[in-house]
Amino acid sequence: MNSSGRLAGKTVLITGAARGQGASHAELLAAEGARVLACDIQDEEGRATADRLRQAGLDVEFLHLDVRSPREWARAVAHARTTSGRLDVLVNNAGIIHVGPLLDERVDDWNALLSVNTTGALLGIQAAVPMMREVGGGSVINVASIFGVVGAVGYVAYSASKAALIAVTKTAALELAVDGIRVNALCPGGVNTPMTEHEQEGGVVPQTPMGRRAHVKEISGVVAFLASDDASFITGAEVTVDGGFLAH
């Protein structure tokens, strides 16, 4: 445990933290001194991730959290209050994806995706802000996507959900600045995670000037920055980490 890191003394809640980007974020933010509540619906993987990180000396606890449920959000935040007495950082990382032609998009699939990627983040902000106000401020990091900034063939629901998440971010930044709560959208390009394994060969790589997908640690480093006081004057921003994809 690092008592002198940039996040020492802070409590962080991360959704979608069982694997991939979320697990990487949990590891780095804990290494920076935070107490991390790693949340997911994937209980077995989530517990294994938390156990692995605790064995490495990091303060990480797994919590079951379905981001679509206001009741489960309330329970997670109450757990932070009981165990830490505070909540300083919320990383809305949970997300799902499906691919298909726009004209074939089913309403049920559309609603299911938006309920996790967009509504889940809104519910998280609503649940976390009261505790952040109590401690004098905080940082919310919404993990969006480059496909929330530009369109992508076959990704109509995913792109819409991430564009909406960016809009939620900007509105929340305006409303919560008076409370000392910063809200930013992180917009990764291609990232090597289990969620991208289904993508066709190449994916976004041919359009990425750096010629590869990001490693999860490259995304986590930006999350740690936005969570810390090093980013104290950054709010309402779209922070792009895409190897130059959007420079076209």
Residue 147 CB: number of other CB atoms within 10 A?
A: 22
Mean local confidence (pLDDT), 115-128: 98
pLDDT category at 171 given cuts 50, 70, 90 is: very high
64 and 40 Cβ atoms separated by less than 8 Å? yes
Mean local confidence (pLDDT), 213-236: 97
pLDDT by residue (tens digit) across 49-96?
Answer: 999 999 999 999 999 999 999 999 999 999 999 999 999 999 999 999
Q: Is it the case that residue 118 has pLDDT exceeding 60? A: yes
Mean local confidence (pLDDT), 10-22: 97
pLDDT at residue number 248: 86
Mean local confidence (pLDDT), 14-35: 98
Mean local confidence (pLDDT), 128-150: 98
Q: Is it the case that residue 1 has pLDDT exceeding 70? A: no
Which of 158, 183, 187, 191 is an active site residue? 158
pLDDT category at 108 given cuts 50, 70, 90 is: very high
Mean pLDDT, the chain, rounded, equals 95
Least confident segment among 120-129, 136-145, 190-199: 190-199
Q: Is it the case that residue 201 has pLDDT exceeding 80? A: no
Nearest CA-CA partner of 32 in 69, 52, 55, 60? 60
161 and 114 Cβ atoms separated by less than 8 Å? yes
The 3-state secondary structure of the chain, one letter per residue: CCCCCCCCCCEEEECCCCCHHHHHHHHHHHHCCCEEEEEECCHHHHHHHHHHHHHCCCCEEEEECCCCCHHHHHHHHHHHHHHCCCCCEEEECCCCCCCECHHHCCHHHHHHHHHHHHHHHHHHHHHHHHHHHHCCCEEEEEECCHHHCCCCCCEHHHHHHHHHHHHHHHHHHHHHHHHCEEEEEEEECCECCHHHCCCCCCCCHHHCCCCCCECHHHHHHHHHHHHCHHHCCCCCCEEEECCCHHHC
pLDDT at residue number 192: 87
43 or 197, which is more confident:
43
240 and 187 Cβ atoms separated by less than 8 Å? yes
Instruction: Specify which residues 185 forms β-bridges with.
Output: 142, 238
Whether 155 is catalytic: no
174-to-13, 52, 154 alpha-carbon distances in Å: 22, 38, 32
Contacts with 5 (C-beta within 8 Å, 6 or more apart), sequence order: 31, 32, 33, 34
What's the half-sphere exposure (Cβ side, CA atoms, 13 Å) at 139? 28
Mean local confidence (pLDDT), 198-205: 66
Token output for 135:
């401690």
